[in-house]
Amino acid sequence: MKLRRIAVAVMLAVAAALIVALTTGATTGPAHVHVLGSGTASAAKSVCGLGTGKKATGSPIKLGAIATKQPGTDFTDIPNTAAAYFNCVNANGGINGHRIQYFIQTEQTDPAQDAAAAKKLIQTDRVVGMVGSTSIIECSINHKYYEQLHVYEIAAGIAPECYGKGDTNIASVNMGPRYSSDGATQYVIRQGVDKIAFDQSNVPGTGYISAGPNAVAKAAKIPIQDFTDTVPLQDANSVALKLVQAAGQNGGVVLNFTPDQALLILQAAQKQGLVDRVKAWACSTPCNSDFVASALGSAWDGKLGVNAELNLPSAAGPDSTLYRQIASKIKLAFGLGSFSQMGFVQARIATAALLNMKPPYTLARVGQAFAGVRNFHTDILCSPWYFGKVNVHIPNNTDRTVTPSNGKMAVKEGCFKVSAADPDIAAARAVEKKNPQLNTGKPYPVK
Amino acid sequence: MWPSLVDFKPYIVTGLALGGVYALSGVGIVVLYRATGVLNLAFGAIGAMGALISWTLINHHPAFPEWASYLVCILFGGAVTFVYGLVFGPPLAGRDPLVKAVGTLGLTLILLGLMSYLWPPIGRTMTLPTSKPDFSYHLGFADVDITMTEIIGLAFGVVVTFGIAAFLRLTKLGTAMRALADDREITATLGVPVRRVEAAAWLGSGLLAGAAGLLLSDLVGLDPVNLTFLVISSLAAALIARLRSLVATLFAGLAVGLCTALLTPITAWPSEANYQFSLSSYRGGAPFVIAIVTLLFLARRRVVSVSRTDA
């Protein structure tokens, strides 16, 4: 009995510890989005939608998203930031009085789950457009379904179908892992490396992704060795050693992982004194996060080139300023960074498209509005974004290189064109040349 | 192409460090199994949650002493395991070992759910003071730096193994635990306070879970799911030792860590053209392969036995 009493006492102590943890910031409560983004839009100021400061009360316009959330891969910052922007739009007059109702589904790289999520969103929830999706396989699984039902999706893509390969209903605001890895590979080549070790998480589509960096390296006549590692990483020390050995003293290492997993490899390299054992380190866009910069500390300042598909989270432009205001209202898995920027940009484009169309907001009409977006300007992207009715959708094909600096990311290289040695990029440039209205001329109106 | 000996050397260091912690966890599992017949599948989850509590104290309570945060992790492991043992140990004492193991699986799922709720999967890092640059040393023979945490990981595993082995052999409580391992019923009839002895085993095993969780959160990363399922490597070590010998568990843990690490540089064999078919890309399966091969080998000699007699 005495032991039982001790057990009860210990249980109470553990419960008390949990309550302490609960009340000290370990938890995330529901996102509290305050009324912001109101006022008159100008060249120096961006607002949420109409910026009226009045809450929309009209019938909802339903939009949906599907995002991967599994151990080692969490993309929910993207739709969560899109949701925060839509909340801001709803607090500022909505879409001419109509509020945006946003549905987010998460998946674990399960094709059946992805297909079911799309069917639920479209057939049960009755969404009229997809915005904010980021999934390892969602585009591949659902693109035919979207085409059949004339559903259009503004995404942050990963799979080839997110960029128009075999599909014309999806366009992405980001470059995705392949083209961002192209940019990171270009960076290490510019550093004068004589060999490249390219490593990425072992998820579906690795062959498609590595084809890009391989094409870029081949064009530069530099040997490249491909690796994949299962995430979450259990032996980051060994992975870092492997990559440094493969690259060699004058080589470069290019990583394509989510921020937390890339961080493990970079920290392991630092702990083992491997940072200066190769000529250059680079990372695809997920590393463009202050979370990574601050966790790495000063040892990596200027030594890691991160391909940034989007502007620095701390940039001074009007959209960047609004993005920070909105993102600061929600709990982000990886802090301010490219993932949340992608969600913001997608939601902003979708909102502009909805404001530029007339009701009714049916699936077919909203799809046409999304497809009609062209020459959309934002200071978060290097070049104007477009959807358009074209068979290749890689509108984001010009980007920057950033690097850690005093716990933040700083620009290392200004906007540069991703290499057309990657045949996909070459195809996108050909489309742009043939359809100059996509990214030149009068900017797309943002009310 | 097969790597050279020089290429392998650094992996000996990383493998031994990780293997030391696998051994530490394995010893905690074996000690508990020997005394109570429970294969604690929640070992990793308990350590993971302890590490997350430490992380919270360090990052959200700057006034709280850092050393005390680490102590909380270890004590949390001890407390949760102790309570589980006291509440669920007696009712399950007479049940099949499989039932007892499934009970701890339930605890694992509860802890995973709690961690998912309390600590959403944002990027977190745990850097122990012993991993900071001041505690980094260059190992000339392997041409790689090693941190004090890695040294502790290996040394702690060795010290704990031999310390517990001595404890079991030389102390009254240890003798009682060994007696329980042989026959719970006879031990009870001899007047040994079975529940107290079992409670001590639960507490000791839990403290080891907390310590292992703390070390692994630095060595592997502070990811609750990852840390929870790292128990599989430790279980492999415990199985190789037939859930009996602590010293064998130590060497099995080191072997699992070493083999996993040493497979890493074999990136171009047997397939030079495709990394995904190389030995390196299959290293995650090394613990299971080692366990299966060892058990098959021992079975050939008819010495395999992982069962125990319960009252």
pLDDT tens across A50-71, in order? Answer: 999 999 999 999 999 999 998 7
How near does any CA of chain B get to the CA of A67, in Å? Answer: 14
pLDDT confidence band for A22 (50 / 70 / 90): very low
- What residues in A contact B199, CB-CB < 8 Å? 3
Asked if the Cβ–Cβ distance from A7 to B56 is below 8 Å, we say no
> Cβ separation of B260 and A236 shorter than 8 Å?
no
Q: Cβ contact (<8 Å) for B276 and A27?
A: no
Nearest CA in chain A to B266: A242
Name the β-bridge partners of A102.
Answer: A63
Distance (Å) from the alpha carbon of B307 to chain A's nearest alpha carbon = 28
The confidence score (pLDDT) of residue B3 equals: 82
| Three-state secondary structure call for residue B164 | helix
What is the pLDDT at residue A5? 61
Chain A hits for B233, CB-CB cut-off 8 Å, are 234
Identify the band that residue A114 occupies on the pLDDT scale cut at 50, 70 and 90.
very high
Residue B57 near residue B71, CB atoms below 8 Å: no
Rounded to an integer, what distance in angstroms lies between the CA atom of residue B8 and that of residue A242? 10
Q: Look at residue A178 and tell me whether its pLDDT is greater than 80.
A: yes
Say which DSSP state A307 is in: E
- CA dihedral defined by A16, A26, B67, B74, rounded to 10 degrees? 60
A16 touches chain B (CB under 8 A): no
A4 at B interface, C-beta within 8 A: yes
CB contact under 8 A, A3 and B196: yes
Place of tokens 């700083």: A410
pLDDT for residue A27: 40
Interchain pair B118, A267: CB under 8 A: no
Q: Which of B18, B146, B196 sits opposite A235 (nearest CB)?
A: B18
The whole-number average pLDDT for the span A223-238 is 92
Q: From its phi and psi, is residue A360 left (phi > 0), alpha (psi between -120 and 50) or beta?
A: beta
Chain A partners within 8 Å of B52 (Cβ): 26
Cβ atoms of A418 and A182 within 8 Å: the answer is yes
Tell me which chain A residues have a C-beta less than 8 angstroms from the C-beta of B133: 299
Which chain A residues contact residue B284 at CB under 8 A? 230, 234
Is a pLDDT exceeding 50 seen at residue A30? no
What is this model's ipTM? 0.85
pLDDT at B65 over 90: yes
Distance, CA of A341 to CA of A286 (rounded, Å): 11
pLDDT band for B216, please (50, 70, 90 cuts). very high
**The pLDDT of residue A26:** 44
Tell me the average pLDDT across A259-288. Answer: 94
In whole angstroms, give the CA distance from residue A74 to residue A78.
9
Average pLDDT of chain B? 89
Is there a contact between A361 and A95 (Cβ–Cβ < 8 Å)?
yes
Please give the Cα distance from A1 to B152 (Å, whole number): 39
User: What is the interface size between A and B, counted as CB pairs within 8 Å?
Assistant: 154
The reported pLDDT for the residue numbered B82 is 96
CB atoms within 10 A of CB B300: 9
Structural tokens at position A321: 């300023």
Q: Choose the most confident range, by mean pLDDT, from A154-163, A290-299, A339-348, B173-182.
A: A339-348
- Which of B297, B265, B58 has the alpha carbon at shortest distance from A241? B265
Q: Which class for B209: exposed (0-12), middle (13-18), buried (19 or more C-beta within 10 A)? A: buried
Closest CB to B83 among A14, A74, A299: A14
What phi, psi does B233 have (nearest 5°)? -65, -40
- Residues of chain A neighbouring B265 (CB-CB closer than 8 A): 241-242, 245
Contact B264 A235 (CB under 8 A): yes
Question: Would the CB atoms of A14 and B79 count as touching at under 8 Å?
Answer: yes
| Residue type for position A324 | R
- A336 touching B (Cβ < 8 Å): no
End-to-end CA, chain B:
56
**Do you find a cis peptide bond into A445, omega within 30 degrees of 0?**
no
Q: Do B284 and A26 touch (CB under 8 A)?
A: no
Contacts of A18 in chain B (CB under 8 A): 114, 118
Q: Which of A8, A227, A242 to mutate to test the interface with B (most CBs of B within 10 A)?
A: A242
Minimal CA separation from A391 to chain B, in Å: 31
Whole-number pLDDT of residue B124: 84
Among candidates B72, B114, B120 on the partner chain, residue whose Cβ is nearest the Cβ of A28: B120
**Residues of B whose CB is below 8 A from A232:** 221, 223, 225-226
Angle at CA A207, nearest 5°, toward A117 and A285? 75
| DSSP letter assigned to residue A65 | E
pLDDT-derived band at A90, boundaries 50, 70, 90: very high
Chain A contact set for B280 (CB, 8 A): 227, 242
Q: Please, are residues B204 and B36 in contact by the beta-carbon 8 Å criterion?
A: no
Q: Considering only CB atoms, which chain B residues are within 8 Å of A224?
A: none
Decide if A24 touches B, using CB distance below 8 A: yes
Instruction: Report the distance separating Cα B245 and Cα B23, nearest Å.
Output: 12
Dihedral, CA of residue B20, residue B24, residue B30 and residue B32, to nearest 10: 180
Average pLDDT over residues B242-255: 93
Structure tokens at A36: 């912001």
The C-alpha R_g of chain B, in whole angstroms, comes to 20
What percent of chain B shows pLDDT beyond 70? 95
Least confident of A150-154, A324-328, B179-183: B179-183
CB pair distance less than 8 Å for B17 and A332: no
Least-confidence region, from A44-53, A358-367, A393-402, B89-98: B89-98
pLDDT for B125-158, tens place per residue?
A: 899 999 988 899 998 888 888 999 999 999 999 9
Q: Among residues of chain B, what percentage have pLDDT more than 90?
A: 58
Q: For chain B, say whether A402 makes contact (Cβ under 8 Å).
A: no
Which of chain A's residues have a Cβ under 8 Å away from the Cβ of B127? 267
Say what the pLDDT of residue A186 is: 98
Q: What is the pLDDT of residue A29?
A: 41
- % of chain A surpassing 90 pLDDT: 75
Among chain B residues, the shortest Cα distance to A24 is held by B60
Q: Strand pairing of A73-74 and A58-70?
A: antiparallel
CA distance A195 to A248: 7
CA dihedral B246, B252, B258, B263 (to 10 degrees): -160
Residue corresponding to tokens 């082995």: B165
pTM over 0.90: no
Average pLDDT over chain A, rounded to whole?
90
What is the pLDDT averaged over residues A178-207?
95
pLDDT at B311 > cutoff 50: no
User: How many angstroms away from the CA of A157 is the closest CA of chain B?
Assistant: 21
Find the mean pLDDT for residues A296-301. Answer: 91
What is the Cα–Cα distance from A194 to A404, expressed in whole angstroms? 24
